[in-house]
Amino acid sequence: MYAVIETGGKQYRVSEGDEIFVEKLGLEAEEKVSFDKVIAVSDDNGLKVGTPYVESATVDATVVKNGKGKKITVFTYKPKKSSARKKGHRQAYTKVKIDAIHA
């Protein structure tokens, strides 16, 4: 059984027991979270696709940890103008473990 959920502007295909990295949710570790924007659910009866979301379908998860990703370098410049800027960025994330899929 799997489901396709939407969170943080992205879509994820999840099954029970999966651990995924999503955009920062603002929750502490060991807190429970429920995703109600379920786009599709697949089970023994087949695939149910929502328009845009499947009604009464939720995915329950537990927050494992919060953190920041690898640093990326952002370098912008304007040629022949001696103008350059170098910045770094680390994207915040939340790691969640999928506990149950309720169709």
Judged against a pLDDT cut of 90, whether residue 89 lies above it is answered with yes
User: Using CA of residue 33, residue 64, residue 48, residue 102, what is the dihedral sign?
Assistant: negative
Q: Render pLDDT for 38-79 as a digit per residue (tens, 0 to 9).
A: 999 998 889 999 999 999 899 999 999 999 999 999 999 999
pLDDT of residue 103: 85
User: Could you please report the per-residue DSSP string of the chain?
Assistant: -EEEEEETTEEEEEETT-EEEEE-----TT-EEEE--EEEEEETTEEEE-SSS-TT-EEEEEEEEEEE---EEEEEEETTTTEEEEEEE--EEEEEEEEEEE-
pLDDT of residue 57: 93
Percent of the chain with pLDDT over 70: 100
Percent of the chain with pLDDT over 90: 93
Say what the pTM is: 0.83
Q: Determine contact, residues 64/15, Cβ cutoff 8 Å.
A: no
Mean pLDDT across 21-50? 94
pLDDT of residue 20: 96
* Mean of all residue pLDDT scores within the chain: 95
Q: Determine contact, residues 46/54, Cβ cutoff 8 Å.
A: no
What does the alpha-carbon distance between residue 20 and residue 10 come to, in Å, rounded to a whole number? 12
